[in-house]
Chain A
Amino acid sequence: MKTKKRGVVVIITIWMMIAVVITYALSLILTYVILSRRSEKSAWKMVVSDVEDVSNDLEQMVEASVLSFMEELVSTGTVTTANIPDPEAFSRELQSRFGTQWIEINIADKRGILIASSYPEFVGFNYSSSTESSGFLVLLDGSTLTYSQPMREDVMDDTRYVKYSGRRFEDGSGFLQVGLPDRMYDNWIEIQGQYVATNRSIGDTGYLMVCSADHKIINSYHNEHKGQNIADSGIELDPDADNDYTCFKCDVFGVPSYVTVNDVGRMHVLGVYPEKEANYVRDEAVTMMVIMESAVFGILFVGLIVLMKKVIVNNIVKVNTDLKAITGGNLDRKVEVRGTYEFDSLSTDINAMVDSLKEFITLAAARIDEELEVAKAIQNSVLPNTFPAFPDRDEFELYASMHAAKEVGGDFYDYYMIDDHTLGFLIADVSGKSIPGAMFMMTSKAVIKNLVESGLPVEEVFTQANKRLCEGNDAEMFLTAWLGFLDLETGLVRVANAGHNPPILIRDGKAEYLVLKPGLMLAGMEGMEYKEQTLQLQKGDILYLYTDGVTEAMDKEENLYGEERLKKALSFGEDYPEPSSDCGLPRSICELVTGDLVEFVQGAEQSDDITMLCIRYLGSHSLTDHHLKEITLEAIPDNVDRAVDFVDEILDEYGCGVKEKSAIDVAVDELFGNIANYAYGSGTGYATVMVNVVKEPLTMEITFIDSGIPYDPLAKEDPDVSQSLDERPIGGMGIFIVKKSMDAVVYEYKDGRNILTIKKKL
């Protein structure tokens, strides 16, 4: 798992971190914004409500004073509709009492018509004629006792303000209305205002202030502010504006605060609420949230990572460890990570996959085995393996065997009767093994067989085979081979050797390596010319050919079987008694070597193909009529011995008995002698001796041909063998002896030639 790539945990951690940070920031911002708005809202609410309280208190206090004054007038009956004092005098009286410049007094009857006033010009005014004044008509409903209106501009003098209040007369005959001037009102408020704010606070640190019309602070929670101009505090008041709970934020004495201003009369009531306190809850909540969220997210985060590592990463590592073992070749390893549903399913799937893979591999291996078996069967079928190979031939015995190392080998052998008296035999070792080796082997075998059967000389077979095998030899395979053409009549072997191991010749129970010039291997180099070499076999000689699978067979300690041991095995010495020849000596020899190899390797695996071919030459004594040999000599007595020797050689070849040989020798001597002495008279000529060997029963047919004087020796009478020595003529015995000792003697004169044939069974 050593890789530069990031792990699952790291990737998830990073993405989780990003998600958490975004969520965290969003929630904080949202909380901050919401709480800020709520704080502001509640701050304003608090300030406004406190300012309102103070304003109302002030107004109510003033109003109450007016109303109690009117109550006094009405309840005592000082003023009624029936008893109307002189309003002007009454006004002056009241002015002096309240210390004001003027005071307006009006009396209305029960119809809402003004009947008396400190301003006589108002008498006759119908209250229902104006919006403001019609409000007072409520006092005529029979139940409402008092009624007040907020201060408004005086209709008579727009430089002054007036506050109207009304009181119903007890008898329902009308109502009294008093208009108080603003100055008086202000005075009252100023008096009240000096006390109203002193003991009031907004929250813990907020406070109230009252300022006069000239912006002087007349009352404040903080005594030190008294007497100062409101502008000094930082609050800018517009002298022209009517402040009706005007809200704004500004620094008040350096402290950022919510400020609400309300005008009561010409007074200003101010509520100041420091932002710090207003935002206390918000700040506290946000702080708490930061702490809480950090804790919660942190715990969640660490927990998740630990869990992830435990549940995912550790399991993945386990699965990987198992997979590594599986890819390493152990298909029996099972993945058993069963902790979670997903890993359980993964384990099951992997195991199923490996199982089916295993099955496929087994099937594939079986198929390859099957294919190799087929190839082996094909290879074995192309190697001739029926023995005896030529049951109707008794000039030789032949046996061959091939044991492939792997299912299919690169070795092969072959043998063929090229004509009636020539046996071709081949042993070869292809450089490749298995199927390619076998294919090359089959090609090589077919090519060589083809060339041999086309009747080419042995060296030409290899020269041509090399040419053909070099063509298109892309696999660059080659083969060593040893090809022999054995003349069954003469025992002469014509050999072509393409770099093959020297065969062993066993003669009289003694084994020797037969070292011939090695040519280059076949398919090795284009344009290679091979040379014929010869080897003379004698009757009884055994030729043993093999591939290096024999000499290079190894035991478990990697010791080679070796050429020495092979030679010893074939020497039929004490250690290796000559095998029985019941089923042919060559077969026994091959089996002997195979057995010795098995003993030598002691169970070690066979590393190379083991192939051998063995021929025992028995000599030609069973030839057909065509197996003629002849010699033509000058017909002179000195050549009689040469004629005899010529025939003797053939007789020896067929293992002729002493008696028969002697008789035949005599016959040849007599007949050739006759031709030499008489056929050509005093002249000279030639005589031909033809020897024909007939089998079943083995018979020698010897024909003497001369073109001399026609003469039938058989026409002459036989001599009288009962005559005494004295009586018998010297000579005339030769033809008689021949007739006596041969099985048949035939004379013929044909085409100007004397043809005399003798036959003798051997």
Chain B
Amino acid sequence: MASFARSIRLIAGAWALLLILTASAPSIAQQSQINPTASSVRERQLLQEFDRIQGRVSIPDQRSSVLIQPAGREWREFRTVALRWVGGIAILGMLAVLVIFYLRRGMVRLEAGRSGRTIVRFTTFERFVHWMTATCFIVLAISGLNITFGRPLLLPLIGHEAFSEWSQWAKYAHNYLSFPFTIGVVLIFLMWIAGNIPNKVDVDWVKRGGGIVGRDHPPAYRFNAGQKAIYWIVVIGGGLVAATGYELMFPFYLSGIEGMQFAQMVHATVALLFMAVMLAHIYIGTIGMEGAFEAMGSGTVDVNWAREHHSLWLEEENARAEANARPRPAVTAAE
């Protein structure tokens, strides 16, 4: 009996050995391909083959194992040349367009004048979210512009010490206000998604130039095509800026240096274009259109404003008010 067990064990052992040998055969063959008299690794050759040279370090900081990474040179070109051109053209160009537009068109007036009756357009919560995001955006934009344009424009004016002091505080503000800004973008996304799905009405609205470029008043629901564009720019642009910003704020959590270079390029480019778009948004919301600011200011708009700019929305609101059991009008008399 014992000898039987022994022979079983022997057979099993032989099989296991055979298995290991067959499994390791390719690796033995591979190892024999290594040339023991290979010449030393060469920097030139490695740099031509890969975009960076990486090895092994014995110190605990494994991130330092990247030895040479010449991509920083290209990133430098982007930051000091390309980005300044893109940002400068986008922002100054938008400002120029707005000034010319204002001089030619002026404030878009209410054609029918004010009716004196108002209708609720944005609730207190909606306005709170809008202004929280807007305030953060302005601080983030100014502190971000400072990083790109501060050195050539502001530093020569106020000197090294003052500029560093201001930039230090701007950096803190930029880092910490990113959190309420991101929350704001998420809330905007959730809160207004229902009214911002593009539909057939938008096509007609765009063809007729909307209420600001064109001279007539194409119908629109709660948000017209222009506002929908702003909504999606805020949601997508804000999302991109937030995601790339956090990647830069938490170095090495998500990627190595090459990922951070790319994140900075996306962050800065999207942010500068975002600012240019927001300039137009601020223009229409303030001096560009009569009666528009109060939508986000007091939360109510004049019924004539709603009829001219959001006719379908007004009809919806009126229908909803009539459908209510109690005959309480949605439009309240201001007298």
A and B part of one assembly: no
Q: Give B residues with C-beta under 8 Å from A.
A: none
Q: Give A residues with C-beta under 8 Å from B.
A: none
